[in-house]
Chains A and B, each alone.
Chain A
Amino acid sequence: MKVLSHDPELCVGCYTCEEVCSETWFKLVDRSRSSIRIHDDGSGPLRAVFCVQCGECIAVCPTEAISQDRRGIVRVRKKLCVGCMSCVGFCPYDAMFYHEDQTEPYKCVACGKCVDPCPADALAILDEQVAQ
């Protein structure tokens, strides 16, 4: 399975990835709608939060709206989702996001759109074992 990978040593905190992500999926440059979030707590390397496709959220979902596709990517099917936020609260990585304007949560599906625009080459799509 291919997943997104972030190298904190290379990341410069420009937030380009957040902007690209939101534009890709919501047609809006709005970082609060991004499925990758860069955190800077001021005491060390920047930290990126995004889905690692662990699938913990699948069992929590009461409507079977979350499943893994053939590539192993965890996806939320909007048609089945009732917006209950269970997956948001139960994600061990806090990587299931929601926006206050919409009912369904969203997450990184390892589409890789953020990789090339990253000016620091801090992002990559890698095989899961390599990424770990």
Chain B
Amino acid sequence: MTENSREASSVLAKHTYTVSAVVRGYAGRTLYVNVGDGVIESKPVTQEMKDKFIGGRGFDLWLLWNGVADDTKWDDPENEIVISSGPCGGTTQYPGSGKSIVATVSPLTNVVIDSNAGGHFGPLLKFAGWDAVEVQGKADKDVIVVIDGTTGTVRIEVAPEDAPGDTHLLGRWLLDRYAADEEARRYTSSITAGTGSEHTRMGCLNFSLYDRKRQDLRYKQAGRGGIGTVLRDKRIKALVVRSRPVKGDSNAPADLGRISRTGAEMHREVREFDPIQNRMRSRGTSYLVQIMDDYDLLPVHNFRYGSHPDTPQINGDVWEARFTQGLPDGCWYGCTIACAHAVDGYEVKSGPHKGQIVIVDGPEYETIAAVGSNCGIFDPDVVLEINFYCDTYGIDTISFGTALGFVMECYEAGVLDTEKTGGLELSFGSADAALAVLHQMGQGEAFGEVVGLGIRGMKRYFVEQYDTDARFLQDIGMEAKGLEYSEYVTKESLAQQGGYGLTNKGPHHDEAWLIFMDLVNNQLPTFEDKAEALHYFPMWRTWFGLCGFCKLPWNDVVHPKNAQSAEPSKIPHHVQNYVEIFSGVTGREVTSQDLIDMAEGVYNFQRVFNIRLGYGLREHDAIPYRSVGPVTAEEYESRADRYDEQLRELLNLEPETMSTEEKMSALRVHRERQYELLIDAVYERRGWTADGVPTLSKLQSLGIDYPEVVAVVERHL
């Protein structure tokens, strides 16, 4: 931070503090910043918070719960954005230990969204003295919040008018402004959105990290649920954090040796097995593209189909050749899984940044599937171009791709035409039109403004404006709770239908990913089996977000000995690693069951939070039929053998005597009934009523029967 930059800034509010040392993974306090009235405060982290909410998403939810009212909407000033890493965040010895978790009331779902990102912000925030930052209020002009752990100051500054709008320029501008030399750059991180976040409901956050090898910035996205939209609605241009240099003991673990031992062993496992398993180190999550296609699970043409002959044009082999190889592409120090690959030296081909040479972060599997196969686009250059612009505009690639797939099906079904799209021919595979829509979203103009509403908003708009058949839109619109689906076809996996539908935030794979267990390996034959999996895995995956962990090192590289374990799907030897790291950091000795218990408390708290905001009941766990079965005759006929056999075997029908419409109808009744039975079984396992409300005894057993929590639940019992 230079004197000149400070003088050049207009400081609206300033707070000074003593940067205290981290103790066993906790800084011991959280930061409150109100960009509306300029109040900046420090709040203590209580033992109760550590015991019940742990950190990360748990802290986010607790602070957000106390910050908002029952009727808070996403764009109300009292809505907050809360960011926390968790007690293990900032550990350098174990792969995937630098996640930041964000929560807010979502503009897409109107309930709490949580989303996580790599990058350096969360750990550096802790090392600057804060376990979480909570921003509230609305500024009347663009502001930058600066948290400087080297000087012990927090400032709200007016953002100069020449500050760029889009992240790939803004991030660099911030770095030049707030990090004067190479050492400062290493320990500075920003959170930004982009112009697209200002004009759409699906804005994402970009978390920066300074890449020492490239001597440039990289970005990881907290993509889901429109948090970037909330950031820009508050007129926050950026959050910037700077800390003192990071060392191996910056997180002050209780037992450094235990952490180092566990980490070193995991690195050896990655070295030995990644090259013969998923090859994450050379192609990241893009390896999944071909596998999903092979199993008929890759979304194609708005989730109508699960495979396409052109998939090899965008599969992992293609990206392995495009990604720069040989660099340690972890998004936090010590992540040898290193999936955060990039295409260097990419020349932008369209839009306002045409001709610039940039780094494109990714694309990851979800992006490739969303903006690629789901939209019928199998040109890797177009996927890269969309990936770049989504990130720099601050638009979630998943919501964009899933929403665009919906638009394309509407266009081909006649719901939309060129008159309604402003001349854009948006059939599947129309790359130029897809990019045109994206640029319109970046500028907030023309048809892009409509797409920016998200699928739920578009459904409403099309019914109101064009008198479209609402049921058809409901069937094909791949959203639940208002959030666009992430990229797995679930028609043949009832468990994964629940994995998407029976979630707190909406259909996203980070709660449960059960397709292979259910569909491929047939490990969940009964409703009880599925319900148990839909208890265990959402809790287990929630736990990562409490502590600052990434899930990928848990299950994307596995020692072969795992196959001989009692429950291979849980990967017990890696679960034990997390027991070691959590205990080693916090000094709190835990068992693997304790991890689930921690998460269950937070998970149920989030469910009650949704109920408090007017949602979170059974009716809100409904899912579109496109995720359950074939909506159209064309879809049915494309997999007629499969569906006919099911009619024969499961329903004792004779498909050869039935019309396609009759077969579709019979299948639909059966499948929708199965989903309802699944809900019954899952709610029972989770300790919820038939309406999806956590019972008082469940809340008591979890120790979260606070009066204000009980009051919410009692209204529904």
Q: Which residues of A contact B (CB under 8 A)?
A: 59-64, 81-86, 88-90, 98, 100-101, 103-104
Contact = CB atoms under 8 A, between A and B. Distances in A.
B583 to A, nearest CB: 15
A84 B212 contact: no
B268 interface: yes
A90 B336 contact: yes
B427 to A, nearest CB: 44
Contact of A85 (B212, B263, B269): B263
Nearest to A63: B212
15 contacts: A60-B336, A62-B212, A82-B92, A82-B248, A83-B249, A84-B334, A85-B92, A85-B264, A86-B334, A89-B268, A90-B336, A98-B260, A98-B264, A101-B257, A103-B260
A82 B328 CA distance: 14
B39 to A, nearest CB: 35
Contacts of A81: 247-248
A83 B93 contact: yes
B256 interface: yes
Contacts of B212: 62-64
Contacts of B92: 82-85
B326 interface: yes
B330 A62 contact: yes
Contacts of A82: 92, 246-248, 333-334
A119 to B, nearest CB: 32
Interface in B225-257: 246-249, 256-257
A90 B249 contact: no
Contacts of B265: 89
A89 B274 CA distance: 13
A109 B266 CA distance: 26
B471 interface: no
Given A60-B336, A63-B212, A64-B213, A85 B271 contact: no
Nearest to A81: B248
Given A85-B263, A89-B265, A89-B270, 17 more contacts: A59-B326, A59-B327, A60-B336, A62-B328, A62-B330, A62-B334, A64-B212, A82-B246, A83-B248, A85-B92, A85-B260, A86-B336, A89-B264, A89-B267, A89-B271, A89-B336, A90-B271
A103 B259 CA distance: 10
Contacts of A98: 260, 264
B328 A60 contact: yes
Contacts of B263: 84-85, 89
7 shortest A-B CB distances, which residue pairs? Answer: A83-B248, A89-B267, A100-B257, A103-B248, A84-B334, A62-B328, A84-B92
A85 B334 contact: yes
Contacts of B269: 89
B212 to A, nearest CB: 5
Q: Which of B266, B270, B334 has the most CB of A within 10 A?
A: B334
Contacts of A100: 256-258, 260-261
A81 B245 CA distance: 10
Contacts of A103: 247-249, 256, 260
Contact of A83 (B213, B247, B268): B247
Contacts of A86: 267, 328, 334, 336
Contact of B333 (A59, A84, A89, A90): A84
Contacts of A101: 256-257
B392 to A, nearest CB: 24
Interface in B254-298: 256-258, 260-261, 263-271
Interface in B383-433: none
By DSSP majority rule, is chain A's interface helix, strand, loop, or mixed? loop
A60 B326 CA distance: 8
B624 to A, nearest CB: 42
B93 A84 contact: yes
B131 to A, nearest CB: 20
Contacts of B268: 89-90
A61 to B, nearest CB: 7
Interface string B315-340: 00000000000111010011010000
A81 B92 CA distance: 10
B106 to A, nearest CB: 33
Contacts of A59: 326-328
Q: Which of A60, A88, A89, A103 has the most CB of B within 10 A?
A: A89
Interface in B454-497: none
Nearest to B329: A62
B333 A63 contact: yes
A98 B327 CA distance: 23
A85 to B, nearest CB: 4
B261 to A, nearest CB: 7
Contacts of A104: 248
B328 A88 contact: no
Nearest to A96: B264
Nearest to A56: B271
Contacts of A88: 264, 267
A101 to B, nearest CB: 7
Q: Which of A61, A62, A85 has the most CB of B within 10 A?
A: A85
Nearest to A98: B260
Contacts of B327: 59
Interface string B328-370: 1010011010000000000000000000000000000000000
Nearest to A94: B268
A64 B249 CA distance: 18
B248 A90 contact: no
A32 B256 CA distance: 16
A39 B341 CA distance: 39
Q: Which of A61, A82, A86, A104 has the most CB of B within 10 A?
A: A86
Contacts of B260: 83, 85, 98, 100, 103
Contact of B266 (A61, A83, A89): A89
B122 to A, nearest CB: 16
A44 B246 CA distance: 45
A45 B334 CA distance: 36
B376 to A, nearest CB: 38
B184 to A, nearest CB: 15
Contacts of B256: 100-101, 103
A125 to B, nearest CB: 28
Q: Which of A62, A81, A88, A100 has the most CB of B within 10 A?
A: A62
Contacts of A63: 186, 212, 333
Nearest to B267: A89
A85 B257 contact: no
Contacts of B270: 89
B91 to A, nearest CB: 9
A85 B267 CA distance: 8
Contacts of B186: 63
A101 B424 CA distance: 64
Given A61-B328, A63-B333, A64-B212, A84 B257 contact: no
Q: Which of A84, A86, A101, A103 has the most CB of B within 10 A?
A: A84
Contacts of B333: 62-63, 82, 84
A84 B94 CA distance: 7
A82 B330 CA distance: 14
